[in-house]
Amino acid sequence: MSEESDNNPTPAIDSTGLVGADKNMKLKDKTLIEWLVVGAIAAILLSVPGSWVVKSHMEARAYNRLTGADATTWEAMWVELRVAGKPGQD
């Protein structure tokens, strides 16, 4: 009987009630979910400065188009670019 039990071992059940492959699948799912959460947090954190740069780039392009100046995105990020009306206009 001991030879038979050695050839055909019963899988050990852990405290979660999962057996062998099921336990590995649960760990893989948890790892995937963790990566998705980390990715979502990173996307949110990077979208804030990214949108600021895009807004500043569009602001600099509009300012350059209206004034003929050569303002850069970096300047638009830190300086408030304004287009004043022509002299004599209100």
The answer to whether the beta carbons of residues 64 and 47 sit under 8 Å apart is: no
What pLDDT is attached to residue 32? 84
pLDDT of residue 12 exceeding 90 = no
What pLDDT is attached to residue 89? 60
What pLDDT is attached to residue 30? 72
Express each pLDDT in 46-63 by its tens digit.
999 999 999 999 999 999
What pLDDT is attached to residue 85? 74
Which two three-digit tokens encode residue 79? 């300086």
Residue of higher predicted confidence among 21 and 34: 34
CA gap 85, 66 in Å, rounded: 11
What pLDDT is attached to residue 26? 63
Q: Which helix (H) or strand (E) holds 85?
A: none
What pLDDT is attached to residue 46? 95
Instruction: Indicate the DSSP class of residue 19.
Output: B
What pLDDT is attached to residue 31? 82
Alpha helices, H only, the chain: 2-7, 20-67, 73-78
Which two three-digit tokens encode residue 67? 């004034």
Euclidean distance between the first and the last CA atom of the chain, given in angstroms as a whole number = 103
